[in-house]
Amino acid sequence: MSEPRFRSDIVVRLVQRVGSDAMIAAAARVSVTGADGLQGEGGNPVTDANAGLIRYLMKHRHASPFEHGQLTFYAECPIFVAREWMRHRTWSFNETSGRYRVLEPVFWVPPEGRAVVEPPAFKPSRPVLVESEQVRESVVQFCQHSYYAAWWNYQAMIADGVAREVARSVLPVGTYTSFYATVNPRNLMGFLSLRTHDASATNLSYPQAEIEDAARQMEEVFKGLFPLTYAAFVGNGRVAP
């Protein structure tokens, strides 16, 4: 019988990318210059002309040029994060199957410093939590207790020959899953605007900390690969086109 393992990290890794700021600018220019917009613009040229055009597209919500790119990420996170992530219908996903393989006993616990308590003035529309190390430690105990019981029951059913698709029903949303997620720059910006809490944003969002962790990791990748588009997004109050 394997023993449960506990972790708190959210893994996000870029595995594939297509496109550049130059491609986005060329896609916009094709309407007036024809299909030669990318000539002489290999790589990801940061030119004033491209920067100005991309800022204009962002501000005026000329969105479709931002669809000419693609990023594929590999992710490991608890199922409750994956559920939130997969609400974004404009992404493509493929996930580890609980039907075809026995799942790994890896479960999420809140890390040190993770706020877990609702303050007296808690508002569901603005869910800001407060820290208490004592309460967090008790949450870890509660979680581990539940995970041990769930994992024991899961393994007992598998040992009895119960189908994996049925046995998995006892596993909690804190169980880690893994998947590939593919998105274009436009829809990544939509995700970033909703799944980060950023004081500079025109529309403040209040995402759960763990999906914000995933979003922030993807934001760093995006910033490096599409610097002009990223700068225009931030300059536009993190409003996606």
Ligand X SMILES: Cc1cc2nc3c(=O)[nH]c(=O)nc-3n(C[C@H](O)[C@H](O)[C@H](O)COP(=O)(O)OP(=O)(O)OC[C@H]3O[C@@H](n4cnc5c(N)ncnc54)[C@H](O)[C@@H]3O)c2cc1C
Which residues are near ligand X by CB under 6 A?
A: 87-90, 187, 190, 194-195, 205-207
Residues 1 and 4: their CA atoms lie apart, in Å, by 10
> For ligand X, which is the closer residue by CB, 61 or 87?
87
Torsion angle defined by CA atoms of residues 194, 200, 203 and 206, in that order, rounded to the nearest 10 degrees = 50
- Least separation in angstroms between residue 197's CB and ligand X is 9
Of 103 and 194, the one with the shorter C-beta distance to ligand X is 194
Burial of 13 (0-12, 13-18, 19+ CB in 10 A): exposed
By the 8 A CB rule, do 107 and 176 touch? yes
Q: Which of 29, 136, 168, 195 is catalytic?
A: 195
Q: How far is the CB of 138 from ligand X (least distance, A)?
A: 26
CA 77/CA 174 separation, integer angstroms: 9
Q: Considering only CA atoms, give the Rg of the chain.
A: 22
Minimum distance, C-beta of residue 78 to ligand X, in the bound complex (Å): 17
Q: Is 195 a catalytic residue?
A: yes
Residue closest to ligand X (Cβ):
89
Q: Which is nearer to ligand X, 22 or 194 (CB)?
A: 194
Largest CA distance in the chain: 68
* Smallest separation (angstroms) from ligand X to the CB of 193: 9
Pick 38 or 129: Cβ nearer ligand X: 129
Positions annotated as catalytic residues are 195
